[in-house]
Amino acid sequence: MRKTISYLYKLAFTDLCTGLKNRNAYEEKLSRLRDGKDSLRNLRIVFIDIDNLKYINDNYGHYAGDEAIKTVAKCIIKSFDKKDFCARYGGDEFVCMVYSGVRDRIAEFQRLLGQEKYSVDFPLEVSIGTVERDFIRDDGIDGVVKRCDEVMREQKKEKKCDKKA
């Protein structure tokens, strides 16, 4: 019975495509941060979004799109520490919550992704947003997350990530 419960829990909170935590786990983490069960002190949020996934799907097939998602996830898993919280937020978006060493983790992620680009047959780029809680601007964790998403979206806009199929 205990194994069954453990298995069901894992299914409920793991993204089956990537092996990362899923949106359910992310929402649970946000709840813990809102309730003060987990600390906001020194927390940095990192959003990673695959650029032009629709272009990859439309021009190289959905298998390639899945491969892009898995490749980015693999680089996240190798770059971020086990104590960091990393999840697949949605389709081509990932979120990591880090308490220390965020610059080193992002640099390692970018290095690994740069190597992986040569092993795939499609263009693979990401946009990254990262912020630290600003006690004046941010209203709790939701404000931090919203601002991080805006930073990442601004980077996408600057890169003009809107390739047409």
Catalytic residues: 92
CA distance 158 to 8: 42
Q: Which secondary-structure segment (H or E) carries 99?
A: none
Q: CB-based contacts of 38: which residues, under 8 Å, 6+ apart?
A: 29, 32
* Beta carbons of 44 and 130 less than 8 angstroms apart: yes
Dihedrals φ, ψ of 91, to 5°? -25, -75
